[in-house]
């Protein structure tokens, strides 16, 4: 049987487990030009919340349909094929759906993995997958931190943030993370080598809390959150600082808060650059090689928030928005 997680209703604000439901169907038949995969891991990525609202289709993806499998990234292995480009045993990281199996004609977004995996397979969804690569491209292409820089990262204890912070440390920068709980703040500093952490839920205003943790100002802000967090970071930026916009989870599926202090981009001569990792598809091998080297050397850790079983995929997705995850959120099927 093929088991799927479907979008049972459109989330109102932050997604909750009840927005999703399980469905079952017989395994699809492989026909000429198609192949069937067994999906071993599902990666939970906050950005997919953007396409769950009814009118949310854009140039990147269409809006998700109700009662249809939810789009997401999976780690898959081809188990049957009548497609010239895909052989049984091929390992893929693909934008399929939250399903135990996928029938594909090869037109989905697919990145091939090596035949022999050097690391734990789930790493190819996290530190060696889309999120690790987002941290890599955002830090090495855009932020380019140096030993003189104070780097501030929002969503610092999540999938992208944990890797981005460690890369900035490898570049010699002082690194400060913004997180939602004291337990995560302690973990960032004691386990991942962050120099300091800022609680977004503390008594002080976020801007004051950032100032206390970054007394000499912020040179690089790597943003996963947007909204009020971005606004508070702009207030603390140094002259000619760099803002790297990776994500804006605080505004996914809800009306986003626009920063009210954009004039400071001018007065402080700040540079702002957003990026989408999938537009750097042709450089995945380069990114994976560098991240693999750091993993091999023990210079990089890849923490995971791992759940087991397709029935837990909806909960795992909701966990991202509730801040339950320490590191990459993944479900093993």
Phi, psi angles (nearest 5°) of residue 63: -65, 145
Going along 44-165, which residue ranges are E strands?
Answer: 71-81, 91-97, 101-104, 110-112, 150-153
Say which residue the tokens 């906050």 belong to: 46
Minimum CB distance to ligand NAP, residue 238 (Å) = 23
Residue 129 found at the interface with ligand NAP (CB under 6 A) = no
Among 169, 200, 242, 288, binds ligand NAP (CB under 6 A): 200
Residue 303 found at the interface with ligand NAP (CB under 6 A) = no
Interatomic CA distance for residues 317 and 260, integer angstroms:
30
Residue 224 found at the interface with ligand NAP (CB under 6 A) = yes
Closer residue to ligand NAP, CB minimum distance, 219 or 319: 319
Residue 310 found at the interface with ligand NAP (CB under 6 A) = no
The CA radius of gyration of the chain, in Å to the nearest whole number, is 20
Residue range at the interface with ligand NAP (CB under 6 A); choices 63-71, 106-114, 130-138, 166-174:
130-138
Residue 246 found at the interface with ligand NAP (CB under 6 A) = yes
- Contacts with ligand NAP by CB under 6 A: the residue count is 32
Evaluate whether 171 touches 239 at the Cβ level (below 8 Å): no
Interatomic CA distance for residues 40 and 102, integer angstroms:
11
Residue 157 found at the interface with ligand NAP (CB under 6 A) = yes
Residue 277 found at the interface with ligand NAP (CB under 6 A) = yes
Phi, psi angles (nearest 5°) of residue 308: -125, 135
Among 15, 180, 253, 314, binds ligand NAP (CB under 6 A): 180
Q: Provide the token pair at 159.
A: 């999938």
Residue 46 found at the interface with ligand NAP (CB under 6 A) = yes
**Residue 186 bridge partners (DSSP):** none
Helix (H) or strand (E) holding 263: helix 263-267
- Residue numbers of the site for ligand NAP (CB under 6 A)? 45-47, 130-131, 134, 155, 157-161, 179-180, 184, 200, 224-225, 229, 246-250, 275-277, 320-321, 323, 325, 329
């Amino acid at each position: 049987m093929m088991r799927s997680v479907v979008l049972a209703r459109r989330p109102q604000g932050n997604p909750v487990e009840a927005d999703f439901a399980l469905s079952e169907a017989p395994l699809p038949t492989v026909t000429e030009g198609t192949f069937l995969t067994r999906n071993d891991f599902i990666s939970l990525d906050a950005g997919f919340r953007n396409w769950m609202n009814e009118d949310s289709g854009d140039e990147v993806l269409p809006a998700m349909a109700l009662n249809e499998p939810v789009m997401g990234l999976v780690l898959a292995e081809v188990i049957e094929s009548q497609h010239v480009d895909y052989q049984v045993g091929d390992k893929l990281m693909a934008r399929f759906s939250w399903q135990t199996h996928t029938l594909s004609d090869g037109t989905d977004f697919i990145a091939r993995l090596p035949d022999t995996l050097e690391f734990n397979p789930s790493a190819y969804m996290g530190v060696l997958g889309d999120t690790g690569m987002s941290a890599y491209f955002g830090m090495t292409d855009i932020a380019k931190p140096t030993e003189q820089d104070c780097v501030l990262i929002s969503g610092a204890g999540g999938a992208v943030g944990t890797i981005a912070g460690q890369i900035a440390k490898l570049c010699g920068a002082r690194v400060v993370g913004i997180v939602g709980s004291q337990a995560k703040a302690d973990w960032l500093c004691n386990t991942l080598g962050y120099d300091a952490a800022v609680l977004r839920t503390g008594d002080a205003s976020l801007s004051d809390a950032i100032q206390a943790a970054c007394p000499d100002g912020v040179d690089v802000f790597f943003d996963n959150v947007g909204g009020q967090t971005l606004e508070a970071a702009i207030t603390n930026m140094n002259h000619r600082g760099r803002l790297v916009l990776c994500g804006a989870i605080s505004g996914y599926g809800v009306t986003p808060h626009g920063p009210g202090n954009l004039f400071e981009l001018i007065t402080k001569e700040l540079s702002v650059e957003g990026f989408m990792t999938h537009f750097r598809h042709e450089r995945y091998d380069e990114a994976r090689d560098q991240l693999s080297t750091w993993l091999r050397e023990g210079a990089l850790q890849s923490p995971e928030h791992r759940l087991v079983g397709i029935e837990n995929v909806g909960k795992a997705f909701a966990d991202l928005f509730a801040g339950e995850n320490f590191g990459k959120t993944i479900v093993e099927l």
